[in-house]
Amino acid sequence: MAISQKPASCCCCGGNGSKSGGASKHTEVIIDLVIGVDPRSTAFMPGWDLETARQKLLFFSTPKQFIASCAEILPVLDDFYATADGALRKRFIGFLLHIVDSLNSKVELSHNLQNEILHGGAILSDADAKRVQDDAEAILLNWEKIDQSAAQSVLLEIKSEDIAVNKGDNLFIAWAKDWQKKNGRDPYNSIADFLMCFKTLYAPDTYYVSLYLAWRDGKTSTQFFNDYGLQAARCRKIGSLGGTTNPAIAVMGEDDLDGKANMWGEEATAFIKKTPNKWTQIRRVIAQEQVKKSEADDWGATAFTEWVVVDAMLGLRSIFLLEGLGRVAFQLRPDWHDKEELLTRAGGRIHKILCARMSQFDDILLDGAAEPYQSVTACRAGKSNNHFKIACTSQAALNVVRAFNAGHHPKFPDALEERMFTNVTLSYEVPQMVAASLATENGIKDYEARTGEKTDDGRGGSVVTSMIGRFNDAIRLYRVESMLNALPAGSPSRTSIKPAAIKTLADPALTSDEFRNAVKAVGIDFDPKTEEDAINHAGTLLTKRTALILTSKYGLPKSRLLTASKRNFNQNTDLLNVPFSTDFGNIQRMYLDLHNSGGVKIDSWNTLVEEMNPDGTPKAGSIWEKRNQILRRIWPDWAKAYEVEGVAPDQYMSTIYVPPTLTQFIGLWEENVARAKAARESLSA
């Protein structure tokens, strides 16, 4: 699918590539990408060539080569800039701005330039990094002085995406607005202010960066994942080592770039709409290919999901190649959640497509790259850095999880060609998470038995998601509905209170004397404060329990649990040392609120085990034991969710928490198909 708008000719090189004299092949490739004349990038989405150029320079240059490459690249681009048109100037600024921004991040530097595992004692010194950064920033500021409109255009496009993502509720725009409030200047109005603003976000004392540094230093197992593909490269700078998408994220992300339902109001929506929605163009490209191949609309919807995932995978591509990290979830069709053969064949087919897509980036990233990069990346180059997200609704789903990790399905031996990685979703309680973990581990054992090879996922690999917030939401909804249903038929509360609108048991509708007296009169013991606390920590408690059971009962050296779907920041800090932690933009933004009110104090990077016994039960007298007791009192099925054998696979769909999420995901998948249809029909309009 060729979609990039490349310069037909370049005023500075005649359209024949870079004019970089005796520059190395490595440097020439970077310059050609920035100029927009590398023919291998013609099928790229707008912006992918610049991101590939940045990653090539930052992550596939040795420290010595980085200094030399910058010494070659900066004068060439500076020379070109004088006669370049506005579009090309924007490309130069966009490339170099993010290079300088990345050099402010210890996280970015640690992946390559200051990585002693790769380079021993020959890492880039802080002094050399600062010198290169100062030289690059000086050029940037001069470019801004020469062409203020080009610089403003780049900055405002970044602002547009920042303010659009997650309906405007994310850490980056919140950080910028907070910085503006404290400094009196919009950081998107000048290059110097932009760099100064976000440099403070990358500081080692901010939560996500400190979490990354603690993980890197072996103090915790927890890796931060970003739950939103659009900000994969941005979140990489604060320590993201993976990401995810789902049917909701894919479609809602498209809406975000249209400004729909943005929390900042009509002014923000109007601002966002000034930047073309990149997904609109992708929809059209997909529709053209769909018609050419005579494919159905669900093919178009799947292809759109592929583009969303590839966009996110690119942001984390280099840390995958270098370290085996940086996986992004691709959710297979939720309407096929119990269709074992369809899921299996879809995974095998899509995996081939994703591998081919990522090979295009790898060919460029490794072109002219010196050792150690060729050796370090050899086992991963050309492989897709994705998980397949599979909805845990039945034994069929567990069978697919096992087959993907085995790289073979005994019933469909022609469906899979190699071992693939999984992210089990719609999993909430102990029975599901244990069953999914065992399916994953058994798949790995199957692979080893069949091939005779020992697998080594390093610090990456397959995961099982604990959907904490959605689980807690379901219990809260149950509690509200059960209390309302117990009231007399004529009770005003039964009509005035809408259970789905209640986000906390501390809601005024539930804490009023009228309601509390009404439930007391029918014999219900209701304590909104302690019950809300217990519900808020329900998914957290079951995650702690599962992680400890997997170690103590099943002897797994480490769990593969990933925490997600959070509603409060404590769902991070209570579970430090769970291997993977996924945060959406709003949870990341919550960190800023805590930061401004005194910070997040981390006394331990292993809070997973606090007040818990090794067998996964809460310690006597602990707050977790009290929460366990409250949950047993207010929700009859808590005991089932708590015990390993409490819920069988054929019962997953009869729980109160699996169907709501599945219904949402299927609905948004159907919306994706409807949009594919609309894009196809628009071609002939």
To the nearest 10 degrees (0 to 180), the angle between helices 86-103 and 48-59 is 40
Instruction: Map residue 390 onto helix, strand or coil.
Output: strand
At residue 22 the predicted structure's pLDDT band, cuts being 50, 70 and 90, is low
Contact at 8 Å (CB) between 361 and 43?
A: no
- Residue 245 has what pLDDT? 87
Amino acid in position 60: F
Strands 386-391 and 327-331, bridge-based pairing: parallel
Contact at 8 Å (CB) between 101 and 193?
A: no
C-alpha span between 252 and 652 (Å, rounded): 27
Region 284-305 average pLDDT: 97
Q: Tell whether the model's pLDDT for residue 3 goes beyond 80.
A: no
465 DSSP 8-state letter: E
Report pLDDT digits (tens) over 96-149: 999 999 999 999 999 999 999 999 999 999 999 999 999 999 999 999 999 999
Burial class (CB in 10 A: 0-12, 13-18, 19+), 382: middle
Q: Quick one: CA dihedral 373, 374, 380, 381, positive or negative?
A: positive
Q: Which residues pair with 580 in a beta bridge?
A: 223, 562
Report pLDDT digits (tens) over 391-420: 999 999 999 999 999 999 999 999 999 999
Q: Tell whether the model's pLDDT for residue 558 goes beyond 90.
A: no
Instruction: Map residue 638 onto helix, strand or coil.
Output: helix
Spell out the residues 6+ positions from residue 368 whose beta carbon is closer than 8 angstroms to its own. 24, 25, 26, 27, 28, 29
Instruction: Write out the two tokens for 281.
Output: 């163009």
Report pLDDT digits (tens) over 188-213: 999 999 999 999 999 999 999 999 99
Q: Read off φ and ψ for residue 373, nearest 5 degrees.
A: -70, -40
Q: Tell whether the model's pLDDT for residue 12 goes beyond 50.
A: no
Q: Which residues pair with 223 in a beta bridge?
A: 580
Report pLDDT digits (tens) over 573-617: 999 999 999 999 999 999 999 999 987 889 999 999 999 999 999
Q: Quick one: CA dihedral 622, 628, 630, 632, positive or negative?
A: negative
Spell out the residues 6+ positions from residue 621 whose beta carbon is closer than 8 angstroms to its own. none
Q: Tell whether the model's pLDDT for residue 278 goes beyond 70.
A: yes
Question: How far from 538 is each of 8, 15, 524, 605, 630, CA to CA, in Å?
Answer: 58, 61, 21, 21, 10
Report pLDDT digits (tens) over 482-538: 999 999 999 999 999 999 999 999 999 999 999 999 999 999 999 999 999 999 999
Q: Read off φ and ψ for residue 563, nearest 5 degrees.
A: -95, 135
Region 78-93 average pLDDT: 97
Contact at 8 Å (CB) between 199 and 179?
A: no
Amino acid in position 660: P
- Residue 559 has what pLDDT? 85
187 DSSP 8-state letter: G
Region 623-636 average pLDDT: 98
Q: Tell whether the model's pLDDT for residue 8 goes beyond 50.
A: no
Share of the chain above pLDDT 70, in %: 97
Contact at 8 Å (CB) between 237 and 105?
A: yes
- Residue 13 has what pLDDT? 46
- Residue 457 has what pLDDT? 84
> Secondary structure of 6-18 in the HEC alphabet?
CCCCCCCCCCCCC
Question: Taking all residues of the chain, what is their mean pLDDT, rounded to a whole number?
Answer: 95
The DSSP code sequence of 511-547 is HSHHHHHHHHHTT----HHHHHHHHHTHHHHHHHHHH
Report pLDDT digits (tens) over 326-356: 999 999 999 999 999 999 999 999 999 999 9
Contact at 8 Å (CB) between 552 and 196?
A: no
36 sits in the region (left: phi over 0; alpha: psi -120 to 50; else beta) called left
Q: Tell whether the model's pLDDT for residue 10 goes beyond 90.
A: no
- Residue 247 has what pLDDT? 85
In this structure, the chain runs to a length of: 685
C-alpha span between 486 and 262 (Å, rounded): 39
Report pLDDT digits (tens) over 437-484: 999 999 999 999 999 999 878 788 999 999 999 999 999 999 999 999
Region 68-72 average pLDDT: 97
C-alpha span between 111 and 317 (Å, rounded): 12
Query: Rounded to 5 degrees, what angle do the CA atoms 449, 453, 458 make?
Result: 115
Run of H or E residues at 225: strand 223-226
Domain ranges across the chain? 1-146
Q: Tell whether the model's pLDDT for residue 9 goes beyond 50.
A: no
239 sits in the region (left: phi over 0; alpha: psi -120 to 50; else beta) called left
Share of the chain above pLDDT 90, in %: 92
Report pLDDT digits (tens) over 639-676: 999 999 999 999 999 999 999 999 999 999 999 999 99
Question: How far from 192 is each of 103, 155, 156, 251, CA to CA, in Å?
Answer: 14, 11, 14, 35
The structure tokens 């530097």 sit at 109
C-alpha span between 484 and 503 (Å, rounded): 16
Instruction: Write out the two tokens for 223.
Output: 């890796």
Run of H or E residues at 573: helix 570-573
Contact at 8 Å (CB) between 585 and 231?
A: yes
Region 252-272 average pLDDT: 95
- Helix and strand numbers, DSSP H then E, in the chain: 32, 8
At residue 11 the predicted structure's pLDDT band, cuts being 50, 70 and 90, is very low
Q: Tell whether the model's pLDDT for residue 298 goes beyond 50.
A: yes
- Residue 246 has what pLDDT? 85
